Amino acid sequence: METRDAPAPLTRPLAWMGLRKSAMDLAVEPPLSPMAPVDLDDDGAVTDVLNLALEIGGILLSSGEGAADTVAQAESVAAAFGLPGATVEVTFTSLTIGVNRRRGRPPISVIRVVNYRTVDMTRVTRVSRLIDLIVRRQLTVDQATAEVERIVASPHPHSFRVAVLGWAMLGCAVVIQLGGSPLAGLISMVSTFALMYANRYLDRHRLPSFFQQVVGGFIAAAWALAAYVAVSNNFIEVQPSQLVAAGIIVLLAGLTLVGAIEDAITGFPVTSAGRGVETMVMTGGVLGGITIALAAFERLGMSPPPIDPAIAGNAAVHIAVFAAGVGAAGFAVASYATVRATWLAAAVGAIGMLIFQAVMATGLGVVVGSALAACTMGLIGGILARIATVPPLVVTIAGITPFLPGLSVYRGLSALTSDQTGIGLGLMFQALAIAVALAAGIVFGEWVTRNLRRSAAADG
């Protein structure tokens, strides 16, 4: 009988070379014999295992993990403690786990509703390592439950001020990546500080997230237009489209558009629809705030310059690559990632931009470039994450953030508000196509990595 340490075929070089397995690699392999099989007749013991698996799944789902990976890892936890027949179902923010027992004993199920909160990638890293220990039979149920409680109760690894600095790094990097000047990057940083602190204040007063997005969109657009008006007569070039695009990416980076598309690709259409509607509503809030700012400035006789029909930024390749790395690192800091994960995210973001620029130079277009860049980031990010013992999710989410189609969204909105309906809809559809390309590329790249690392035992 094969074990997890059985020799891997040469067609799977990452397994043959002994690359460390991630929690997802272990989750898709046959479970080892449990350390202490749970008594299926003991309602309390079975419920404890189900609650533990569901708590871990809730942390993963609330942090942006796809539904398919959440299900696989939660089920692997249940199987490790003697419940290989446990089934997990994800429906938007609701997780349900159930298990059938012997004849004459009723099945047991547990349900949990996930409340989205600030994403903490350090928490995800700790949970991933916990899953690794559980699946390798190194913890009891009580020990694992206690560790989950410590993870949930632990504070963020750094303060909110540092996280906002990460968001500001992302905003500045996006502007530079799009060809903006250092002054424009600095203006974007100030705008990001303003909108993040404003949203934090509104969140403390329990204002619904939609209206927070409206305020954020208004601040991003108003600040960009004000900066343009202030410096346009001083021979200093500031493009409002670059500043607003950076604000859009900052506001939408924490949402789940790419995750929603990933869920649709991996077979969770209901959850995908829920996430997609949520993202559309929140994006509508951002666009509403931008529209209000544009209308207000137009009323005051201060209109932005005409929108350039080009989609991609025009920064030099080496500058764009550096900016993408900084932007990915900024998002990692904003998401409370570890120092090691932040460096990896920077490397993956820079590599992705290098691939994107190479594809754009061939004339294949921004959608194809985004897809190939995301595929590369999924593949290389997965390998580097396994080497550095951090979850691939932490690296890939940060890596693709600078590629979100903020500029396309803003230009599409500007065209729609200028009665250029055809152009505006085309740009909006192109933004959606870019998001689909990013999601598909990440899913495919990670799938390739998992199959290259897949051991012989997983075929059993």
Query: So where are the chain's domains?
Result: 31-155, 160-449
Q: Is the pLDDT of residue 8 over 60?
A: no
How confident is the model at residue 255, as a pLDDT?
55
Cα three-residue angle 259-265-267, rounded to 5 degrees: 105
- Which pairs from 228-235 meet CB under 8 Å and 24+ separation? 228/304, 228/305, 229/297, 229/302, 231/183
Q: How confident is the model at residue 13 (pLDDT cuts 50, 70, 90)?
A: low
* Tokens 């204040």 sit on residue: 201
Q: How many CA atoms lie within 13 A of 275 on its CB side?
A: 30
> What integer is the mean pLDDT of 9-21?
51
Strands across the sheet containing 108-113: 87-91, 94-99, 108-113
Beta carbons of 381 and 350 less than 8 angstroms apart: no
pLDDT digits (tens, 9 = 90+) for 243-302: 888 888 888 876 566 778 888 888 888 888 888 888 888 888 988 998 899 888 888 877
Plot region of 86 (φ>0 → left; ψ -120 to 50 → alpha; else → beta): beta
How confident is the model at residue 121, as a pLDDT?
86
Q: How confident is the model at residue 448 (pLDDT cuts 50, 70, 90)?
A: confident
How confident is the model at residue 256, as a pLDDT?
64
Q: What is the spatial distance between Cα 343 and Cα 164, in angstroms, rounded to a whole number? A: 18
Q: What is the spatial distance between Cα 210 and Cα 220, in angstroms, rounded to a whole number? A: 15
pLDDT digits (tens, 9 = 90+) for 109-140: 999 988 765 677 888 888 988 998 888 888 88
Q: What is the spatial distance between Cα 337 and Cα 386, in angstroms, rounded to a whole number? A: 16
Q: Is the pLDDT of residue 454 over 80?
A: no
> What integer is the mean pLDDT of 329-334?
93
Q: What percent of the chain has pLDDT over 70?
A: 85
* Phi, psi torsion values for 87, nearest 5 degrees: -125, 130
Q: Is the pLDDT of residue 103 over 50?
A: yes
**Mean predicted lDDT score pLDDT of the chain:** 83
pLDDT digits (tens, 9 = 90+) for 185-216: 999 999 999 999 998 999 899 899 899 999 99
Pairing label, strands 94-99, 87-91:
antiparallel
Nearest to 353 by CA among 332, 328, 379: 328
Handedness of CA 34, 35, 39, 45 (dihedral sign): negative
Amino acid of residue 423: I
